[in-house]
Every structure is written in C-alpha cells, then in structure tokens.
Amino acid sequence: MQNKVTQDKEFRTFCTNEFAAGIYIFMQNPKSISELLKSGGKRLSSLAVQSAERSTTLEHVCAALPAELAQAVVTAGIKDGKLTLGVTSAAWAARLRYAVDALREPVGTAVGTDILRVQIKVMPTQAI
C-alpha cells in the first residue's frame, strides 16, 4: 500500500492513510466517561476524587442553607481553606453573602477543615 498524504476538505488536516485507518478503528469503540474514569490513570482518578469531594461539599452547603437559597447554589468546593460557591445569578449571590457566617462552622465541621474565606461566584447559564 502506498503511503499517501490526503487532505480532509472539512477539517483541512493532513494525514497518511495508515494514520486515518488507525483513527477509524479507534472511533469504532468509543468509551463512556464513566468507563474512562474506572479504567484508572492518575489524572482521571484524581479528577474523579476531586469531583466526589466537590459533590460532598455541595451537599453539606445545601444542607446548611434554607431550601430557597440552597437551590440557587450550583457548585461548591474547598481549597486551601477557601470555600468557593457558584450561584445562578447576582441576586442570589447578594442574598447568599448574608448567610456566609452561618455556613462556615457547619460545613467546615462536616468536611473536616477550617473555612477561612468564602468566595461567591455567579455562574453563567451556559456553564450550568
């Protein structure tokens, strides 16, 4: 077989026939994200651990807040003593600032760390 370079008109990329055949075979058996996370690898397993920690933190934050305010919190994480909360709008962020002091102790105790600072971020609707 001749090692020919071809151009894909849609993506404007160049590749050899052997490389294109290898990609085609690879794409025949795509794996789901959960399969990739279970398969191991340092980077993927650390990502799974971090995701589980953030999920647990979010649960504790929502449990410590009133129900109406808790549903506006979409993400939560703790790093180096800083609790970062993501909320759906600026109005909810303003209301959440009044409840920050009530969050520090119960969430810090549940997670097992001291919360020194709280940062509130408004998450754009595309990221939710």
- Give the tokens for residue 115: 């919360």
0.85 cut: is pTM over it?
A: no
At residue 83, does pLDDT exceed 70? yes
Task: Report residue 42's pLDDT band, with 50, 70 and 90 as the boundaries.
Answer: confident
Q: Across 3-17, 26-40, 80-94, which has the greatest mean pLDDT? A: 80-94
Average pLDDT, integer, range 48-75: 92
Percent of the chain with pLDDT over 70: 73
Q: Which domains does the chain have, with CATH numbers?
A: 13-127 (3.30.300)
Contact 47, 37 (CB under 8 A): yes
Lowest mean pLDDT among 3-17, 37-51, 67-81: 3-17
**Distant-in-sequence, close-in-space partners of 113: CB < 8 Å, separation ≥ 6:** 78, 81
Instruction: State residue 70's pLDDT score.
Output: 93
Lowest mean pLDDT among 9-18, 31-40, 48-57, 80-89: 9-18
- Which residue reads 């959960």 in tokens? 34
Instruction: State residue 14's pLDDT score.
Output: 52
